């Protein structure tokens, strides 16, 4: 399943150039794990509407990867390890339908993981909680 990860709203204290370097580092880290494949930065034409595209050829803070339904929990745990106090906003898309769910902890997410076997693609945003 294709997963788009947007960390541009995670409340990271980074300027645009620093966010680009951070996103490159995340891509490199995900390329080295055994639960994700085909990880890359997202080009501007594939942008989620809430991202910070600016003038860049790649979207700042947005990357994509592929994971199996069995490994989605590992990806979410990895994302939460980046900034544990964030809210995970997951946008599920399947057969033209879209469902937006928010998770504040792993227990909430674990309740929904079984449903992911039916999903074509998802987008994940880390959002700073105030």
Beta strands per DSSP E along 67-120: 87-94, 97-103
> For position 64, what pLDDT does the model report?
93
- Lowest-pLDDT choice from 7-16, 50-59, 73-82, 99-108: 50-59
pLDDT in the model for residue 6: 92
Task: State residue 69's pLDDT score.
Answer: 77
- The pLDDT score that the predictor gives to residue 34 is 94
CA distances from 66 to 20, 55, 56, 76, 104 (A): 21, 26, 23, 13, 23
Calculate mean pLDDT across residues 111-123: 69
**Average pLDDT, rounded, for the chain:** 82
Digit-coded pLDDT (tens) for 28-85? 999 999 999 999 999 876 555 555 545 447 788 999 999 987 888 899 889 888 888 8
Give the residue among 105, 63, 98 at the shortest CA–CA distance from 80.
Answer: 105
Whole-angstrom distance, CA of residue 57 vs CA of residue 31: 21
User: What does the alpha-carbon distance between residue 53 and residue 60 come to, in Å, rounded to a whole number?
Assistant: 6
Q: In the chain, where are the structural domains located?
A: 2-127
Q: Which of 70, 74, 129 is nearest to 104 (CA)?
A: 129
């Amino acid at each position: 399943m294709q997963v788009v990860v947007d960390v541009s709203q995670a409340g990271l204290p980074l300027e645009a150039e620093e966010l680009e370097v951070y996103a490159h580092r995340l891509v490199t880290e995900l390329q080295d794990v055994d639960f994700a494949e085909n990880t890359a930065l997202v080009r501007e034409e594939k942008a989620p509407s809430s991202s910070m595209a600016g003038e860049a050829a790649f979207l700042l803070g947005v990357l994509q990867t592929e994971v199996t339904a069995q490994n989605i929990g590992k990806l979410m745990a990895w994302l939460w390890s980046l900034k544990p106090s964030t809210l995970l906003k997951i946008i599920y898309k399947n057969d033209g339908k879209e469902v937006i769910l928010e998770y504040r902890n792993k227990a909430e997410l674990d309740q929904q993981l079984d449903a992911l076997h039916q999903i074509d693609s998802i987008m994940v945003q880390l959002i700073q909680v105030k």
